[in-house]
Structure 1
C-alpha cells in the first residue's frame, strides 16, 4: 500500500467520529413508503448498546427524539436529544415544541444549532392516524410569522421531524384548526400529504437536465462549533438513471458541490461497482484498491453509505461488499459480514 493510501485512510478515519444512535428513520420518497421491518436475528445494527425503540425512555421520564434544526451554516440537520415528556405529552409534539425559536427548551439544543419555527408558535394539537401513517399537526397563528425565504426550510424541518416517528410517512399542516392548502407567507403548496420526497437542503448537480432529473439524498458531514462532526442530509437533483441507488452512492463518492461547508465521507478512489435490491436488503459492491484484508474500514464512511442507501430505497438493511467480500469490520469494530440495519437517530451532540 502506498504512503498516500495509508495517509488518506487514516485521515478519513480520524476526521470523523460521528455520534450515531440506532433504530430506523423516516423514508425518502413515495416508492420508499413501505415500513422498515425490525432486523431479524442475523441482521446487525450499525452501532450497539442503544434501545431499539425511538420513543423508549432512556432513564425515568426521558425520551429520545429527533429534531431537524438549522446549523450555523443555514443547513437543516437531524439532532438527537433526550428530553422529559410531560403527562400525556407525545414525543412528536415535544420535538416540534423544541423547534420553536425562543422556546423554554432552548438550552437543551446543541451549540451551533437553532430552532426553525417562528417565535411564539404553539403546537395546538398533533394527531397520528396509524392506518394512513399520517401525522396532522395544528399550529397556532404565530406559525405564519416567518420570512418568505425560510418557508421551504420550515416545511422540510416539520416533515422530516415528524416522519422520524415510527410509522409516520405522511404529514399534513394545519393552522388554527384549518388545513392549509398553501403555506401562509409564500404560498408553497401543501395541499397533498407531505413526505420525504419534499427533499431537504436541495441542490442540483452540475449539468443536469431539469426536465428529466431525479433526486437522491446523500449524507455528508460538518463540524459543530465544538468540532464535533455530524451528518447533514442533502437532496441533490441528478440526471435520471435506471439505478437510482447506485447513482446515490456515486454522488456520495463525488462529494459536496458548490460552496457548501460540508465534508466528504468517502475518498474519491473508492468505486461503486453495483447496487442491487432483494426483498428488504440493498446490496452495494465497492472496490477500494487501498484496502488490505483485515484492515478496518472507516466507520463513518460505511454508516454514511447505510444512511444514504436506506434513505433512497426505503429498505431497512444494507449489505456492503468490499472488493467482493463482506468479512470485514469498521473502525468501531462493527462487523459487516451480515446486513446492517438503518439507525433511527443520528447526531447525538453535546448541548
Structure 2
C-alpha cells in the first residue's frame, strides 16, 4: 500500500516533533558519517530523544553518558513490514566489551537482548549465532567479525538483509569503514546460501532495502538512498532508508529529492514525506554545505513545512553527497524561511520506546 503524509498547508500550524536518525556513509557513495544537529523544533516527544545532552561524550554512531556510563548506539533491525531500519538503543558496556560486538549481539534474533528491542522490531542475525571474536584496526578502519556455525542457519531470502544490516550497523561506528566476515576462524569469501560475494570488505555500497524505480534500465542505472517513514503499532513514526535504482543522471542530489517527491513505490508499506506540489529548483553542493532550493506555489507565508519532510531531505541529500558536505540549507521560493541557518546531519535517529 502506497501511503503519503500529504497534509495541506492550512493545517501546518506548527512543527511536528519526530525521531531523528543515525549518521552514516552514503550508499554506493564515498560520504563519511557526519554529526548533525536537527532543525529547530517547538516540541520533542519522548521517543525522539535529544542530540545534545549534558554530560554526554558523543561521536558519530555512538555516545556515552559520562554520568551514568550508559552507551547510545544505532543498530539496524527488521521491522514488522520486512524493512531494515536504524534504531537507537541504550546499553552499558562491560570492561572488556566492544561496542561493535555488543551491537551484533543486540541484532541477533532471539538473543539475550531481544526483550530490549522496541515492539515490532527483531534482530536479523540468525538465531543462536555468537560472536567468537571481534576486532577493529585503527590503521585500516576494518572490523573483522568471527561468527559461530549458527551464522549459516538462515533462510536464503534473508541473506542480503543480513549482509546489509551488518554493514550498515558497523560502518556507522566512528572507526569502521569496512567489515570482513569469518566463520569459526575461516574467512568467508561468500555467503553460504545465495553466494553473496564477500571477497572485499563490506561497506554501505551494498545498499539497503534495495528496490528499482518503475521502468528503470538496469544497465544504465545509478543508486540513490532515500528516507521515507513508517509507523509502529503504537503509531510512533520512524525513518526507513531505501536504496533505489534510477536511470543514470549527472545530478544525483537533485534526483534524490525528485525521488522523495515521487514517494514510495506502489506496493510499498512506507509513507511518503513530501507533498506533490513541491518542486526542486536546484541542489547545489559547495564547500561543506548543500543548498536545496525548493519551489511551492501553494505555500502561504507564516505556515510551517512538516518536520518529517525537512528531516527526510537532510538525511537523503547527505547520504548521497560526498564526504565534505556536512551541512544542509533549505530555501523555499527563494527565501531561507524553512531553516534560518544550515544544519548538520543527526548522529542518531529512531530512538523508539522499548
* TM-score using structure 1 length: 0.88
Q: 2:340 aligns with which of 337, 340, 344?
A: 337
**Alignment match, 2:327:** 317
Give the length in aligned residue pairs.
332
Cα displacement (A) at 1:217 = 0.6
Distance of aligned partners of 1:322 and 1:108 in 2 relative to their CA distance in 1, 3 Å threshold: same
Q: Secondary structure at the match of 2:267?
A: coil
Structure-2 change in CA distance of 1:12 and 1:177 (3 Å): farther
Gaps of 5+ in 1: 1-5, 329-335
In structure 2, how many angstroms separate the alpha carbons of the residues matched to 1:68 and 1:56? 17
Q: Give the counterpart of 2:143 among 131, 135, 142.
A: 135
Q: What is the deviation of 1:57?
A: 2.0
Name the residue aligned to 2:8. 8
332, 337, 344: which one aligns with 1:327: 337
Alignment of 1:52-91 (within 5 A): 52-53=58-59, 54-58=61-65, 59-91=67-99
CA shift for structure 1 position 84: 1.3
Q: Take 2:286 and 2:280, find their aligned partners in 1: how far apart are those partners?
A: 18
- The offset of 1:170, in angstroms, is 1.5
Q: Which moved more, 1:137-146 or 1:287-296?
A: 287-296
Asked if 1 retains the 8 angstrom alpha-carbon contact of 2:29 and 2:205, the reply is no
Task: State the Cα distance separating 1:13 from its structure 2 match.
Answer: 8.0
CA drift at 1:167: 3.5
Q: Which residue of 2 aligns with 1:332?
A: none
Matched, 1:152 2:143: no
Is the 2:294–2:333 Cα contact (8 Å) retained in structure 1?
yes
1:266-291 CA distance string (max 9 Å, x none): 11111111111112211111112232
Q: 1:34 to 1:216 in 2, by over 3 A?
A: same
In the other structure, the counterpart of 1:204 is 212
Residue 271 of structure 1, aligned match among 272, 279, 304 = 279
**1:299-319 superposed Cα distances (whole Å, 9 cap, x missing partner):** 111011000001111432111
Native 8 Å contact 1:12 1:265 kept in 2? no
Show structure 2 runs of 5+ residues with no match.
1-5, 41-50
Question: How does the TM-score come out when normalised to structure 2?
Answer: 0.88
- The aligned counterpart of 2:180 is 172
For residues 283 and 71 of structure 1, the distance between their equivalents in structure 2, rounded to whole angstroms, comes to 33
CA RMSD, 1 decimal: 2.2
- The structure-2 alpha-carbon separation of the partners of 1:16 and 1:200, relative to structure 1 and needing over 3 Å to count, comes to farther
Aligned-pair CA distance for 1:184: 1.8
Check whether the contact 2:27–2:243 (CA below 8 A) recurs between aligned residues: no
- 1:281 corresponding residue in structure 2: 289
- DSSP-derived class of the 1:131 partner: coil
Residues 254 and 16 of structure 1: CA distance in aligned 2, closer, same or farther (over 3 Å): farther
Is this contact kept in 1: 2:64–2:70, CA < 8 A?
A: yes
Q: Does residue 1:290 correspond to 2:298, yes or no?
A: yes
Distance 1:306 1:277 in 2: 13
Equivalent position to 1:251, from 247, 255, 259: 259
Write out aligned runs for 1:190-201 (5 A). 190-201=198-209
Q: Which has the higher contact order (CA 8 A, sep 6+)?
A: 2
